[in-house]
Amino acid sequence: MAKKGYFITFEGADGCGKTTQSKLVQKYLEENGYDVLWTREPGAIGLGQKIRELLLHYDGDVAPMCEAFLFLADRAQHIENIIKPAINSGKIVICDRHTDSTIAYQGYGRGEDIERLTYLNNLATGDTKPDLTFVFDVSTEIAQLRVGDEKDRMESAGIEFHKKVRQGYLKIAKQEPHRVKIVNADNCIEDVFEDTKKLLNDFLKINP
């Protein structure tokens, strides 16, 4: 049986800076000799890219549970084709958004039932769960400024929606403190990375 790797997810509201941090972590881990795969949801692979296009740019009506199922469909394919094989081959998989996005956005943001979404997340992912999750927390006002004026369908959902998403992430972190670590993302990129790195070193037992 191959050595099992780790699965680390990066989460937070739009404009929190998690993509930048996930790329910095990838570089840092590679410099420390780890074999890393960086990926993202939605839309890491062929079919997922089509789903991503619908989710972010379809301009007609989308029912909240239809939205949830599209994210879940992308996830099911992503887990099977990319994430699971990489973890099983001993890689560290860094994923920019995963199951907690569905709970924060479709659950706390859109108001869909959290337990039902958790059940559906479990169906989509089977026994592959994140070992560690970073939630980059930033005030909604700052995050919205970072997103700028060119917004996709999700980013255009309004400030009240994004405030609920932020609070949703904080609740998730409170419920699963062992897995989910909050990083204050109000600061500059370097400071946020220092905080992230400390938590990561702790988790992987890296002595800098």
Residue 101 contacts ligand TYD per CB under 6 A = yes
Question: Considering the complex, what minimum distance in angstroms separates the CB of residue 70 from ligand TYD?
Answer: 9
Residue with tokens 């062992």: 178
- Pick the stretch among 22-30, 84-92, 102-110, 173-181 that binds ligand TYD (CB under 6 A): 102-110
Q: Is residue 51 a contact partner of residue 73, using CB atoms and an 8 Å limit? A: yes
Q: Which is nearer to ligand TYD, 32 or 66 (CB)?
A: 66
**CA dist., res. 169 & res. 13, Å (int):** 8
Name which position in 19, 81, 88, 89 contacts ligand TYD (CB under 6 A). 19
- Which residues make Cβ contacts (< 8 Å) with residue 55, sequence separation at least 6? 42, 67, 70, 71, 74, 153, 154
Q: Is residue 106 a contact partner of residue 66, using CB atoms and an 8 Å limit? A: no
**CA dist., res. 121 & res. 69, Å (int):** 10
- CA distances to 23, 106, 144, 187, 205 from 52, rounded to whole Å, are 20, 15, 21, 30, 36
Residue 167 contacts ligand TYD per CB under 6 A = no
Q: Which is nearer to ligand TYD, 118 or 201 (CB)?
A: 118
Name which position in 9, 22, 83, 97 contacts ligand TYD (CB under 6 A). 97
Residue with tokens 């609070």: 167
Residue 105 contacts ligand TYD per CB under 6 A = yes
Name which position in 21, 28, 37, 42 contacts ligand TYD (CB under 6 A). 42
- Which residues make Cβ contacts (< 8 Å) with residue 80, sequence separation at least 6? none
Name which position in 8, 155, 164, 200 contacts ligand TYD (CB under 6 A). 155
What does the per-residue mask of binding to ligand TYD show for 115-154, with x meaning CB under 6 A? Answer: ---------------------------------------x
Interface positions with ligand TYD (CB under 6 A): 14, 19, 41-42, 56, 71, 96-97, 101-102, 105-106, 154-155
